A and B are shown apart, each in its own frame.
Chain A
């Protein structure tokens, strides 16, 4: 196999052969030749280097160029994949925090709109966030009658079931009614539910 190399332009779908190669081309007229087009892209190869190589090396550098292009594409794919994974993880964390906050806020809103503060007081709303397991653990400290406590229990059950059916999240809602307690162990509560919903 013999190779000739020259720089040219493609015009009207025809390859222009420089005059200096005319004799060379005449010898293969009416015969099949293989054509490799190396299309210049800034920074992808050094033209002078290619020109200085012999026939076999030209093929080698062509394949090496292809290989390099493939590797770059693979790297881009990996970068794209890791970017997607990162974006999805970020989205899941945002969704997780939003779900907990929304659930607590909805319960708070329900209580404040349906009960007078003298009838039902939410003293504290606490949660624990676990970004490994995405567990949902929420604790309310309330002050109300046992009758209202039962209505609250029903509200918690509804919220729990909605989160399961609509968002596919398990959620544990607990409460302590201060009115039923002789004493409250704040240290244990702070340890198990370290985050407090702050309201202005």
Chain B
């Protein structure tokens, strides 16, 4: 089972990869996708650390967002429809529990999800915006998890 440590290390791995190529602006679609997946692992690490979370007003205890997905599938939490993806479910957790980074994560999710409709031809400033938003999430995690969190913001 993944722990917060393993999620944070995975996020660091993704950030290091991002640093290695984004400044060339030759692979903007990948820069955005890697930014999103770095953020995703930070959020999963935060979920593991916090465990007791709110979802649609109810208090739940989970270590990973897929546990919430299983609870919904089993009918332990009543919803009128299933989430279209685990990303959407994770975003809902962030909206309710980690409000400071909700917009940043949603921006990264939207950009990586709609990149295909833009034929992966994304402007350079969108990459800069994405990294700025990823930095918002990194700084938030650093404040909350201190020495447990091994990533420093990415310089632009």
Contact = CB atoms under 8 A, between A and B. Distances in A.
B53 interface: no
A103 interface: no
Contacts of A96: 81
B88 A172 contact: yes
B80 A134 contact: yes
Interface string A154-194: 10110011001101111010111000111111001100000
Interface size class of B (residues with CB under 8 A): 20 to 34
Interface class of chain B by DSSP: helix
Q: Which has the most chain A C-beta neighbours within 10 Å: B56, B78, B85, B117?
A: B117
B86 to A, nearest CB: 11
Interface size class of A (residues with CB under 8 A): 20 to 34
Interface of A: 92, 96, 133-137, 139, 146, 150, 153-154, 156-157, 160-161, 164-165, 167-170, 172, 174-176, 180-185, 188-189
Contacts of B102: 157
B71 to A, nearest CB: 14
Contact of A184 (B81, B96, B118): B118
A167 B78 CA distance: 11
B103 interface: yes
